Chain A
């Protein structure tokens, strides 16, 4: 135990030195070296990338974890807080699911001995090695909630007075406007809001989106990363229709490049369902029709399915889009639906509606025909099978 302890402390100091030498470390990984080969330290720092040789992981983790737990179990004395912050850092780098270590860091953030920026940076680094660590995402949510609270408090009075309340803190530059959004009536949003705090709100949220994208890239179907993104849209952007439309536009490319990643589609489904709930504000503020967005999504997914045959994830998304459209059309026909006679409806829109004022089942028939003539005739047997399943499912949905 004694020798392990000494080596552990040595490794721990090496790690701390690495962080001291470079405060722009942007990647962390284990290096597959199972036995110490040279006399050099197993903690390697090149090009802002931090690597630890595998043989030393166990020794380092044991040392850091036990020291930390011992300190917590005893009366929390004799060790400086900076040392504890470093110990918890070592623990979460190697085992990010250790909630105690994260909680210790939370306490230091609350007491002000550790800055939020620093902790956001560390947890982002942890995610480069452990992209689907739920505890790490959870810790970030805690940090961001705190950040949002501070921001809201500091900007109270200046922003909340702008009528539409919480929408006030969604600045235009959070959303790519190079999309086909008509620029006629820019929504009542203040441009260039500045946070009085050390970090700028918009930048922070953009960073978070970036962190989520990187984690999603690193690990396919990364549920945790996409949940984080949903959480962010809900809490930092309050599900504003602008943010939702912006995200819908922004994730299009990602989804087309990761066609079998269910999480990407699920995220779009979340966006579309949220937009469905705010159809009215969508057409009033952004002059966009929910139906148009759905129809566009249908075109998008049908095109993807045609290009890349045989992936189930896409067919599931097609089901979602079909179901939403079908329900929407059916609702449109029923008297007294909230969509009737909406102001801001363009002429073409109304025309379209009258054209669609046929039976929705007729429209469904068309979709069925299209699947039968296209996908069902595909050369790929997987595609054929999926198309058949889709048709069977459709028959259950459409009540004739």
Chain B
């Protein structure tokens, strides 16, 4: 089981989200894929948070990945991208933990004015590493059992999260965060139904 990406985002009033912090663990991807995979993970984290209501959590399946997302009542969102083997409960515990850490360490006034990836919080990186082994990480947080798993909304594809009239292909095409190579990567992966790309 693997964790690939963990990021913290802030949702502004107009339903846009800014990614404030992100950490990645992409060593299992090939050298030439890493940058595109990273862009796609950031891209999907963003579109999912933008479409998740405040104080709700969900897990979105997409091919062999699952994006776990939680947006709290302060409009702070966290997304964890993991594989299917990773236990959902532990994933959401980690999301709580990372948001808690973020709200504690970063002053509220920076949330809305900071630019993409501007905030430094090394704890995010550390949490991503520590939680790679859910068994070890879970043992320490077992007391934190107030997580109600039945409240997690499950989506079988990323398309299910999108609003009416939205298409994932269009979003990819329009995205500014994706390089030309990543867009090609996406198209070829779609065509061959290959397993190497997120989305």
Interface residues, chain A, CB within 8 Å of chain B? 27, 29-34, 44, 46-47, 49, 51, 54, 128, 217, 220, 256-260, 307-309, 311, 379
Contact = CB atoms under 8 A, between A and B. Distances in A.
A319 to B, nearest CB: 20
Nearest to B188: A32
B149 A379 contact: yes
B193 interface: no
B181 A29 contact: no
Contacts of A29: 30-33
A259 B28 contact: no
Contacts of B135: 256, 307
B149 A27 contact: no
Given A259-B1, A260-B85, A33 B30 contact: no
A311 B85 contact: yes
Interface string B133-155: 11100100000000001000000
Interface in B12-67: 28, 30-33, 36, 64
Contacts of A34: 184, 188
A27 B181 CA distance: 20
A260 B31 contact: no
A46 B31 contact: yes
A308 B85 contact: yes
A257 B85 CA distance: 9
5 closest A-B pairs by CB: A32-B185, A49-B31, A32-B184, A29-B32, A51-B32
A29 B36 CA distance: 14
Contacts of B181: 31-33
Nearest to A379: B149
8 contacts: A27-B30, A29-B30, A49-B30, A128-B30, A217-B28, A259-B1, A308-B1, A379-B149
Interface residues of B, number: 20
Interface string B102-137: 000000000000000000000000000000011100
B84 interface: yes
B30 A32 contact: no
B87 interface: yes
B139 to A, nearest CB: 10
Residue of B1, B30, B84, B87 most packed against chain A (CB within 10 A): B30
A259 B85 contact: yes
Contacts of B64: 220
Contacts of B138: 307
Contact of B31 (A27, A217, A259): A27
B87 A308 contact: yes
B31 A258 contact: no
B154 to A, nearest CB: 12
A35 to B, nearest CB: 9
A307 to B, nearest CB: 6
A379 B28 CA distance: 32
Contacts of A307: 87, 134-135, 138
A171 B46 CA distance: 54
Nearest to B139: A307
Contact of A54 (B33, B36, B134, B188): B188
B141 to A, nearest CB: 14
A257 B1 contact: yes
B199 to A, nearest CB: 14
Nearest to A218: B28
A258 B33 CA distance: 22
A49 B64 CA distance: 26
Given A47-B31, A54-B188, A217-B28, A32 B36 contact: yes
A85 to B, nearest CB: 26
A89 to B, nearest CB: 20
A289 B184 CA distance: 57
B98 to A, nearest CB: 22
Residue of B64, B85, B149, B181 most packed against chain A (CB within 10 A): B85
A11 B184 CA distance: 22
Interface in B131-190: 133-135, 138, 149, 181, 184-185, 188
Residue of A32, A34, A49, A379 most packed against chain B (CB within 10 A): A32
Contacts of A46: 31
A263 to B, nearest CB: 14
Contacts of A47: 31
A258 B1 contact: yes
A46 B84 CA distance: 32
A176 B30 CA distance: 29
A31 B32 contact: yes
Nearest to A309: B87
Interface in B55-84: 64, 84
A218 to B, nearest CB: 8
